[in-house]
Structure formats: structure tokens, C-alpha cells
Copies of this chain bind each other. A is one copy, B any other.
Amino acid sequence: MNSATASKSTSRLLAADNLQNLLDSVDAFLFDCDGVIWKGDELIDGVAQTLDFLRSKGKKLVFVTNNSTKSRRQYAQKFRSVGISVTEDEMFSSSFAAAMFLKVNNFPKDKKVYVIGEEGILEELKLAGFTGLGGPEDGKKTAELKPNHLFEHDKSVGAVVVGLDRYINYYKLQYGTLCIRENPGCLFIATNRDAVGHMTNLQEWPGAGCMVAAICGTTEKEPIVVGKPSTFLMDFLIEKFHISCSRMCMVGDRLDTDILFGQNAGCKTLLVLSGVTNLTTLQDDSNKIIPDYYTSKVSDIFEFMGP
């Protein structure tokens, strides 16, 4: 049985022998961040040495995250603060993806973008030359439900971007809903639809999937998703690094975003069990998303192959 056949039906536990095959067959590793590189603000043990090891083997590293609260610049800062040096160009966040989606689709510069989300989305919109509204500055606003009082919204909003928003409120929900329901042709863009995420190291919290679902509930419309598992982001990676997807390996802790994202794009896939997925979930009969390889954590690569 060749490995291509085996990989479609079963996932292989990473070990010294098959790891060498994996390293020989890929030129780039794409890493999810939360649950893979860190949990909350805490770096997962052995990550720094493992990244250094992969760089020393000439591998390109790319950090892909569905967390839209930060911009690429803010993510690069976070990496540096935990002792890992990356460039902004190595970072691909769903906040950046939202701005790039508008750019490649020639979103008119005279139209505005309403944001249900945090600073990262607004910063990426600005860097791409778009005018963002909402976000953090609407976090303290309250909706006045008084007779004969009309809640006004900007008629020049042509897109609503919805991501994780820890300051979600009724004002923002009404604002975004009115734009999508009443402004002709207004786009509804979701950074991603993760149900929950490790916003802190001890537990999971509602993810962007919560806010996106809320807007689906009021508008009765479905969004365009730009983060994982959509392959919109992958098109950028291909163009940027000129590496074919079959020579990339997607490393992540989620089957339905990371691993599916890698598979949709034709990459090799490695599941790490240091985040939201455990071995029981992976091996359950109901799970149909089977990564090529799995291992407990990223640093196993260094353990098996390092000096």
C-alpha cells in the first residue's frame, strides 16, 4: 500500500522515520497559531527550537491564523514578545484576508466598511486603503429604542466585515444588520466561523462563529468566508512563495478549519493534539476529516529529528 492511499483512510502517528519523508517532500510549513504555537499568551514548550530547526533545514515558515483581533503587524509583535522572530510577510491573519478580499475584488474606495470585530480588522482595512467604521469605537454605544426615533446608518457602507468581537453589543448588531438589509449590494464578509477558540490558556471562549451566526440570524443571509477553511488565503500563499500546494504542509489543531483548509488546497496535513482536538475526536467514526499525520505537539518534530 503506498502512502498516498494510506493517507486518505488513516492518519499516521508522526515518528522519526515518516518525519524524514515529510521533511523531504515539503518546502513550506504553514502553522496555525492558537493551540499550535501558543495557548492564549503562553508559548507551547519547545516551539522556538522547532521553528529554528525547520529554518535550518531551509523550510519556509508561514503563520496562518483565523484570529482576526490583531493585524499582521500586531501578530509579528506578539511573536517577538514570546521570543520568536517573524516578519509581517510571514503572517497571514483573517483580518488581513478580509482587507485583501476587498482589494482583489476592486471594492470601491469611496464605499465604507462597517466592522463588527476588533482593532486588527480596522488596521488592515486602513493599510489596504479602505475606510472602516465601527469596531472598538462602537463598543460603548447603546441603541436608543424610543418611539419616533430612527436609528440611522451610513448608506455608503458597501461591506460589513464580521469577526471575533469581545465587545459585541446590540448597537453593532443593529448597525451591521441595517447595512446588509438596506444598502443595495452590501457584502457580508466573515473573517471565519470558528465556534470557539482558546482566547485564554485555561478555557475556550465564543469565536467569530458566534458573531457571524448572530448576523446570519438577523439578515437571513450567508456570509463570504475569507479565513480557514476557505482557500482564499491559500491563493495568496501560492502567488507569494511560488511553491505548489503539494509541497506545503499545513500544521493545525482543528480538523474542521486547519486540516480541511490544507486538504482543500491540496497540501499535506499534520494535526497536533495540543489544542482543541483530542485523539478520541480524531479517531471517532463520525470524523470524516483525516490528516496525513498527527502528533502531540509541534516540538515532537524537534524531539525526533533535532540534534
CB of A170 to closest CB in B, whole Å? 5
Determine whether A72 belongs to the interface, using a CB cutoff of 8 Å to chain B. no
Contact B150 A206 (CB under 8 A): no
Determine whether A277 belongs to the interface, using a CB cutoff of 8 Å to chain B. no
Chain A residues 146 to 187 lying within 8 A of chain B, measured CB to CB, are 146-151, 165-170, 173-174, 177-178
Given contacts A145-B166, A145-B200, A200-B146, contact A218 B209 (CB under 8 A): yes
A201 cross-chain contacts in B, Cβ below 8 A: 147-148
Determine whether A217 belongs to the interface, using a CB cutoff of 8 Å to chain B. yes
Determine whether A1 belongs to the interface, using a CB cutoff of 8 Å to chain B. no
Determine whether A15 belongs to the interface, using a CB cutoff of 8 Å to chain B. no
Contact A217 B195 (CB under 8 A): yes
Determine whether A88 belongs to the interface, using a CB cutoff of 8 Å to chain B. no
- Measured CB to CB, the nearest residue on chain B to A152 is B203
Determine whether A16 belongs to the interface, using a CB cutoff of 8 Å to chain B. no
Contact A200 B170 (CB under 8 A): no
Determine whether A89 belongs to the interface, using a CB cutoff of 8 Å to chain B. no
- A35-48: CB near B (< 8 Å → 1, else 0) gives 00000111000000
- Classify chain A's interface size: 35 or more
Determine whether A213 belongs to the interface, using a CB cutoff of 8 Å to chain B. yes
Contact A200 B41 (CB under 8 A): no
A177 cross-chain contacts in B, Cβ below 8 A: 196, 206, 210
How far is B150's CA from A203's CA once the two chains are assembled, in angstroms?
Answer: 7
Chain A residues 206 to 224 lying within 8 A of chain B, measured CB to CB, are 206-207, 209-220
CB of A183 to closest CB in B, whole Å? 14
How far is B162's CA from A217's CA once the two chains are assembled, in angstroms?
Answer: 13
Determine whether A205 belongs to the interface, using a CB cutoff of 8 Å to chain B. yes
- Residue among B42, B147, B199, B214 making CB contact with A200, cutoff 8 Å: B147
A147 cross-chain contacts in B, Cβ below 8 A: 40-42, 200-201
Looking at A167, A193, A206, the one whose CB has the most chain B CB atoms below 10 A away is A206
Determine whether A104 belongs to the interface, using a CB cutoff of 8 Å to chain B. no
Determine whether A143 belongs to the interface, using a CB cutoff of 8 Å to chain B. yes
A173 cross-chain contacts in B, Cβ below 8 A: 168, 206, 210
- Measured CB to CB, the nearest residue on chain B to A205 is B174
CB of A45 to closest CB in B, whole Å? 16
A151 cross-chain contacts in B, Cβ below 8 A: 200, 203, 205
Q: List 6 A-B contacts (CB under 8 A).
A: A147-B201, A168-B169, A193-B217, A195-B219, A210-B215, A214-B217
How far is B148's CA from A143's CA once the two chains are assembled, in angstroms?
Answer: 34
Determine whether A202 belongs to the interface, using a CB cutoff of 8 Å to chain B. yes
